[in-house]
Amino acid sequence: MNTKEIKIILNLASDSIRSKFEGKELKIDESKLPDILKEERACFVTLTIEGELRGCIGHLLPTQPLYLDIIENARGAAFRDSRFNPLSEAEFEKIKIEVSVLDIPHHLEYKSVAELIKFLQENKPGVIIKKGGYSATFLPAVWEELTQPEDFLSHLCTKAGLHEGEWKGGELEVEVYGVVKFIKL
């Protein structure tokens, strides 16, 4: 993506939150948007304040044009992430906004836990785990905190509601994906 497209992406996220505070409808002239923002793409919007998570909402699969996904997920991260109270205007002035545009996740075939660990260590992708009715994902940015694949998988299992060592059995369904991340400070 070029500089203009990146600026539009970050402004969409920021403006969608700001417009909610102002009680105004965010008006978008789709005809003026670059084609890439009209493509069906999935994204996550992550909000942090001084390095601490403040909200993160997104989709793993495309459901709508990217620009609409950015708007929906920015507002979701700010006002509907159940782990946090809705963002205040004072906090809005302090947030860092990250927009992660996802590739389509694909199934990862692995023959052993050692093979899974090796792949994750070398590639550090976004990861989705599934077992039974349980599932969870971590964006690639989580590798900055959980640098060891064993820790990454243990925390991801816990997030999914599974026992933290569930990954050691080699029976998890694993999907991986890449992202392109844009940050507005």
17 by Cβ neighbours in 10 Å (0-12 / 13-18 / 19+) ranks as: buried
State whether residue 180 is helix, strand or coil: strand
Q: Is the pLDDT of residue 125 over 90?
A: yes
Considering 102, 123, 150, which residue would you say is the last residue of a domain? 102
Calculate the average pLDDT of the chain: 95
Task: Verify that 112 and 73 share a domain, yes or no.
Answer: no
Asked if residue 184 belongs to a domain, the reply is no
Task: Verify that 78 and 118 share a domain, yes or no.
Answer: no
Asked if residue 90 belongs to a domain, the reply is yes
Q: Is the pLDDT of residue 185 over 90?
A: no
pLDDT confidence tier of residue 123, bands split at 50, 70 and 90: very high
Asked if residue 183 belongs to a domain, the reply is no
Quote the number of domains for the chain.
2
Task: Verify that 161 and 127 share a domain, yes or no.
Answer: yes
Task: Verify that 78 and 19 share a domain, yes or no.
Answer: yes
Task: Verify that 26 and 78 share a domain, yes or no.
Answer: yes
pLDDT confidence tier of residue 184, bands split at 50, 70 and 90: confident
Q: Are 98 and 141 in contact (CB under 8 A)?
A: yes
pLDDT confidence tier of residue 111, bands split at 50, 70 and 90: very high
- In single-letter form, the type of residue at position 101 comes to V
Task: Verify that 96 and 123 share a domain, yes or no.
Answer: no
pLDDT confidence tier of residue 2, bands split at 50, 70 and 90: confident
Asked if residue 116 belongs to a domain, the reply is yes
pLDDT tens-digit map of 21-58: 999 989 999 999 999 999 999 999 999 999 999 999 99
pLDDT confidence tier of residue 113, bands split at 50, 70 and 90: very high
Considering 102, 124, 145, which residue would you say is the last residue of a domain? 102
| CATH number of the structural domain spanning residue 49 | 3.30.700.20
Range(s) of the domain holding residue 118 = 106-178
> pTM of the full predicted structure?
0.91
Taking CB atoms within 8 Å and a gap of at least 24, the contacts of 5-11 are 5/34, 5/36, 5/37, 6/182, 8/33, 8/34, 8/37, 8/67, 9/37, 9/66, 9/70, 9/99, 9/101, 9/182, 10/97, 10/99, 10/182, 10/183, 10/184, 11/184
pLDDT confidence tier of residue 170, bands split at 50, 70 and 90: confident
Q: What's the token pair of residue 8?
A: 């539009």
Asked if residue 85 belongs to a domain, the reply is yes
Q: Are 178 and 125 in contact (CB under 8 A)?
A: yes
